[in-house]
């Protein structure tokens, strides 16, 4: 009993009469890594916000370090050694690594004067503790995402943190960065820090967590030590429905490739990339962050022009020097950062769905025919099962639904080639499998599909051929069925 850092007893919480947490019980032991899994809206973030003091709870009891807190403020929670690493990391882009870590320390210690030297020392010490060496004087806006996360972790543990809560920490990381994060977490555990790890990726859960806690509709549905947890059951617990994903097997392949690229290069980003995609195929290009996979996708779509190389669609040479040429040749691109690049947040779902095909909706005067527009949008809404009214703004949708709107926007233009850049990043399990379903359906509909992904499970199940990029070049190519999780992961993370 004494070695519980956090205890929740019968915690209930309602917002505007809607109960989001129902009698939640939870114990977190010293040095334990607990995974909290649940779909979007299941109540897991509310749970974390109650622990971190951002929300009050309505009923129940919260005990931290053996002390009861009828209500707790964020600074009390921090003082008790609870640190949350938010998905956006909450860093200051305009300050250096040392300042980002050191400034929190100065505030916690209630200092009035800022001492740059002690900031550096604190930062150095904290980074040493997680075994990472970073340039302390670089601005945070200049460092890659993975390093930003390390800064956020270093900041969290700099003051005797007892509990570090990580909210989906791996969404922005590639596989080998994730491995490093595992090491960091294991180090923290060994030094007696408890971890709450919010995630719904199986591999992660089994790699670092001691216990799995699944929440659905505000209720606990599973709470097991990880070795008693059935791997296949997670999505069942999370969604309440069994989801099976069978490996993708292409139907008949066409003789001629639909899409072919020869010797594609873009300055220092990637060199000499060649591949073909036939009808019915899903080709996956993977690689670490910085391997050039993202740049390749953008170059194919004309975001930046290729410096060398040729492109063929149905055997005919085409040139794509900018995005409008790509659209003209019926190449569609779905970006990884759907919020920033794919959806017009303020525009209605209807406007979003027809954004690419506006040209086809013109009447004789060159004005948009509203009736045709509404019909077209409604059709895609139905086909993609988007749960919302067409007039609602894009930002009102959940992540998975936003992804579907972006998908629909491009499908409406009847593309020949569809490039999907990490289409399921940050999407919950159920939406993910629905998106996979859609991708497969499109492959069957004569669209050449290029899937860019670093989610190994996704690649193995949803492509028939894999190309691994490493340092801007193709380092490996194989039929997906000849690969398994470990062999592919090894190819991606190998250092050339």
Partner 1 sequence: MNKIDQKSSFMSRLTETVNNLLMRNETVLVLITIGLSVIIGSINSKFFTIGTIYEILLATVVWGIIGIGVGIVMISGGVDLSSTTIAIFSAYSATKIMLAINPDAPLILLFLIAIVIGGLLGLVNGLFISLFNIPVFFATLATATIYKALMLEYIGNIYITPAQMPQAALDFSRTYVLGGLHVSVLLMFALLILSYIILRYTIVGRGVYALGGAPESAARIGYKLNRLKLSIYIYSGMMYAIGGVVYVCNSRLADPYDLMDSRLTVIAAVVLGGFSLTGGKGSVWGVLLGALLSTIIRNNLILIGISSDWANFVFGLIFIAAVVLQAFNTARTKRRTA
Q: Which residues bind partner 1 (CB under 8 A)?
A: 74-75, 78, 86, 90-95, 99, 103-104, 106-108, 111-116, 139, 141-145, 155, 294
Q: Which is nearer to partner 1, 55 or 476 (CB)?
A: 55
DSSP state of 429: H
Partners of 260 in beta bridges: 276, 312
CB of 110 to partner 1, least distance (A): 9
Cβ(340)–Cβ(399) below 8 Å? no
Q: Which is nearer to partner 1, 74 or 131 (CB)?
A: 74
Give CA separation, 225 vs 23, 203, 212, 429, 464, in Å: 21, 15, 6, 21, 36
Nearest alpha carbon to residue 286 among 114, 478, 100: 478
Phi then psi for residue 11, to 5 deg, are -70, 130
State the Cα–Cα distance between residues 301 and 356, nearest whole angstrom.
Answer: 14
Q: Which is nearer to partner 1, 36 or 78 (CB)?
A: 78
Q: Which is nearer to partner 1, 294 or 342 (CB)?
A: 294
332 C-beta neighbours (distance < 10 Å), count: 23
Report the relative pairing of strands 33-37 and 194-198 from DSSP bridges. Answer: parallel
CB of 445 to partner 1, least distance (A): 32
CB of 148 to partner 1, least distance (A): 9
Report the relative pairing of strands 82-85 and 194-198 from DSSP bridges. Answer: unpaired
Q: Which is nearer to partner 1, 257 or 294 (CB)?
A: 294
Q: Which is nearer to partner 1, 94 or 414 (CB)?
A: 94
Q: Which is nearer to partner 1, 76 or 187 (CB)?
A: 76
State the Cα–Cα distance between residues 39 and 176, nearest whole angstrom.
Answer: 25
DSSP states of 65-110: TTEE-SS--HHHHHHTTEEEE-TTTT--TTSBHHHHHHHHHHHHTT
CB of 69 to partner 1, least distance (A): 18
State the Cα–Cα distance between residues 448 and 276, nearest whole angstrom.
Answer: 9
State the Cα–Cα distance between residues 431 and 287, nearest whole angstrom.
Answer: 24
CB of 191 to partner 1, least distance (A): 23
Q: Which is nearer to partner 1, 104 or 291 (CB)?
A: 104
As a whole number of Å, the end-to-end CA separation of the chain is 50
Structure-token match 């591999």, residue found: 203
CB of 349 to partner 1, least distance (A): 28
Residues 6+ apart with CB under 8 A from 25: 8, 9, 10, 11, 220
CB of 101 to partner 1, least distance (A): 10
Residue 496: burial class (beta carbons within 10 Å; 0-12, 13-18, 19+): exposed
CB of 448 to partner 1, least distance (A): 26
Q: Which is nearer to partner 1, 139 or 323 (CB)?
A: 139
Q: Which is nearer to partner 1, 144 or 240 (CB)?
A: 144
State the Cα–Cα distance between residues 120 and 134, nearest whole angstrom.
Answer: 11
DSSP state of 114: -
Report the relative pairing of strands 282-287 and 18-29 from DSSP bridges. Answer: unpaired
Tokens of 70: 């009828």
Q: Which is nearer to partner 1, 100 or 265 (CB)?
A: 100
Partners of 28 in beta bridges: 6
CB of 201 to partner 1, least distance (A): 24
Q: Which is nearer to partner 1, 106 or 233 (CB)?
A: 106
| Inter-residue long-range contacts of 17-25, CB under 8 Å, 24+ positions, other chains counted | 19/218, 20/46, 20/218, 21/46, 21/47, 21/50, 21/57, 21/218, 22/217, 22/218, 22/219, 23/60, 23/219, 24/60, 24/215, 24/218, 24/219, 24/220, 25/220
CB of 90 to partner 1, least distance (A): 4
CB of 155 to partner 1, least distance (A): 8
CB of 113 to partner 1, least distance (A): 6
CB of 75 to partner 1, least distance (A): 6
Q: Which is nearer to partner 1, 131 or 144 (CB)?
A: 144
Cβ(84)–Cβ(52) below 8 Å? yes
Nearest alpha carbon to residue 285 among 466, 435, 447, 463: 466
Residues 6+ apart with CB under 8 A from 191: 129
């Amino acid at each position: 009993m004494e070695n519980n850092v956090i205890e929740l007893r019968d915690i209930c919480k309602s917002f505007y009469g809607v109960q989001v947490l129902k009698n939640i019980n939870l114990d977190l032991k010293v040095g334990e890594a607990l995974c909290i899994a649940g779909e979007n809206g299941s109540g897991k973030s509310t749970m974390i916000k109650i622990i971190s003091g951002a929300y009050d709870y309505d009923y129940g009891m919260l005990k931290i370090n053996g002390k009861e807190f009828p209500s707790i403020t964020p600074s009390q929670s921090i003082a008790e050694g609870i640190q949350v690493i938010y998905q956006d990391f909450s860093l200051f882009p305009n300050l250096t690594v040392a300042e980002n870590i050191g400034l929190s320390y100065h505030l916690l210690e209630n200092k009035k004067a800022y001492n740059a030297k002690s900031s550096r020392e604190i930062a150095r010490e904290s980074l040493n503790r997680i075994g990472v060496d970073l340039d302390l004087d670089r601005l945070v806006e200049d460092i890659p995402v993975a390093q930003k996360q390390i800064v956020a972790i270093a900041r969290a543990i700099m003051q005797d943190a007892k509990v570090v809560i990580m909210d989906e920490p791996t969404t922005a990381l590639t596989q080998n960065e994730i491995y490093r994060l595992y090491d960091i977490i294991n180090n923290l555990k060994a030094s007696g820090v408890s971890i709450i790890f919010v995630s719904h990726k199986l591999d992660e859960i089994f790699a670092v967590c001691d216990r799995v806690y699944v929440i659905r509709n505000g209720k606990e549905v599973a709470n097991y030590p990880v070795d008693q947890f059935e791997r296949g059951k997670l999505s069942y617990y999370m969604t309440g429905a069994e989801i099976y994903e069978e490996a993708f097997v292409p139907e008949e392949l066409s003789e001629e490739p639909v899409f072919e690229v020869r010797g594609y290069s873009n300055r220092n980003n990637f060199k000499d990339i060649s591949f073909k995609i036939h009808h019915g195929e899903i080709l996956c290009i993977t690689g670490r962050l910085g391997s050039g996979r993202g740049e390749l996708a953008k170059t194919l779509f004309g975001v930046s022009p290729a410096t060398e190389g040729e492109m063929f669609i149905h055997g005919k040479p085409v040139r794509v020097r900018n995005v409008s040429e790509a659209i003209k040749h019926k190449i569609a691109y779905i970006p990884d950062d759907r919020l920033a690049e794919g959806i017009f947040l303020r525009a209605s779902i209807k406007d979003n769905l027809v954004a690419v095909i506006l040209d086809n909706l013109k009447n004789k005067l060159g004005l948009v025919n509203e009736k045709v527009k509404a019909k077209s949008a409604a059709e895609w809404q139905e086909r993609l099962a988007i749960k919302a009214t067409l007039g609602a703004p894009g930002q009102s949708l959940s992540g998975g639904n936003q992804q579907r709107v972006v998908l629909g926007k491009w499908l409406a233009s009847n593309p020949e080639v569809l490039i999907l850049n990490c289409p399921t990043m940050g999407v919950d399990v159920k939406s993910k499998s629905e998106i996979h379903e859609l991708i497969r359906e499109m492959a069957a509909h004569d669209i050449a599909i290029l899937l860019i992904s670093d989610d190994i499970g996704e690649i193995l199940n949803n492509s028939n051929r894999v190309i691994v990029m490493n340092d801007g070049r193709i380092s490996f190519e194989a039929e997906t069925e000849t690969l398994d999780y470990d062999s592919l992961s090894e190819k991606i993370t190998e250092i050339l």
